Each structure stands twice: as structure tokens, then as C-alpha cells.
């Protein structure tokens, strides 16, 4: 499965698409631009791999800047705010059913492509 081909199927920002399943997790691709909400996950680490562009993961303890080919895991419970000055493309892995905002009320729904 080709990640770039999956990313070519949509344009929305902050709307992850599930492209594979792995040990109860969703492997997702997402396009991002601008600021996401500050949030944390009570039950899971949050894996970010940048496929194109650049993002900053803002955290209370300090920011992490990531470019293409760079990976970062936000530990469970740590508040963070992804920010992309220009459009960036990411691979994300989270347990299936994880709310992307950390809150089911505001989360994107799961979309498989």
C-alpha cells in the first residue's frame, strides 16, 4: 500500500484516514495545516512520522520540530498541540477508537481508505 497514493485521495486537514490495521491500532495518514487543539490521551502514546513538510509538536515542557523522515512519540498523558505552518503529511498510529482530539465529543470519525 502506497502512502502517497492514499494521501492523494483527499484534501481535508486534520481528518485522518485509516490505511491499515496493526495489533488493534489504526495506521493512518493525515494532512495537516495550522494549529490543532491542545489535548492529551489518557490511554495511549501518540506516534507521529512526518512524510512531507514540517510540523512542530508543542508541549508544555518544550517544542519538538520535525521534518520529513522524522519520528516522535508523545508519551501517554502528555499535553500537546501539533502545529504546521504549511501543509504537512503525517503517518499516525493510535489504538483503534482513539479520539484524535483526546475527547470523543470533538473527535474526527474513523474513515478507512
* Member of 34, 77, 85, 95 binding a copy of itself (CB under 8 A): 95
Give the residue carrying C-alpha cell 473527535. Answer: 107
Q: How far is CA 56 from CA 36, 87, 99, 101, 108, in A?
A: 11, 12, 20, 17, 21
As a whole number of angstroms, the distance between CA 29 and CA 14 comes to 10
> 112 is written with which cell numbers?
478507512
For position 1 contacting a copy of itself by CB under 8 A, the verdict is yes
Report the residue number, 5 or 37, with the smaller CB distance to a copy of itself: 5
Report the candidate in 26, 25, 84, 96 with the shortest Cα–Cα distance to residue 58: 84
- Interface region with a copy of itself, contact rule CB under 8 A, candidates 1-9, 10-18, 32-40, 79-87: 1-9
As a whole number of angstroms, the distance between CA 79 and CA 101 comes to 11
Segment 3 to 62, residues that bind a copy of itself, using CB under 8 A: 3-4, 19-23, 25, 27, 44-45, 47, 49, 51
Report the residue number, 7 or 32, with the smaller CB distance to a copy of itself: 7
For a copy of itself, how many residues bind (rule: CB under 8 A)? 24
Q: Which residues bind a copy of itself (CB under 8 A)?
A: 1-4, 19-23, 25, 27, 44-45, 47, 49, 51, 69-73, 91, 93, 95
Amino acid at each position: 500500500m502506497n502512502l502517497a497514493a492514499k494521501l492523494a485521495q483527499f484534501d481535508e486537514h486534520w481528518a485522518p484516514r485509516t490505511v491499515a490495521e496493526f495489533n488493534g491500532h489504526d495506521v493512518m495518514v493525515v494532512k495537516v495545516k495550522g494549529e490543532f487543539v491542545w489535548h492529551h490521551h489518557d490511554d495511549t502514546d501518540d506516534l507521529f512520522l512526518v512524510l512531507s513538510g514540517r510540523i512542530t509538536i508543542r508541549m508544555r515542557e518544550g517544542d519538538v520540530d520535525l521534518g520529513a523522515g522524522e519520528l516522535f512519540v508523545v508519551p501517554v498523558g502528555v499535553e500537546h498541540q501539533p502545529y504546521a505552518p504549511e501543509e504537512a503529511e503525517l503517518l499516525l498510529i493510535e489504538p483503534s477508537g482513539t479520539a484524535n482530539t483526546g475527547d470523543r465529543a470533538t473527535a474526527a470519525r474513523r474513515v478507512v481508505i
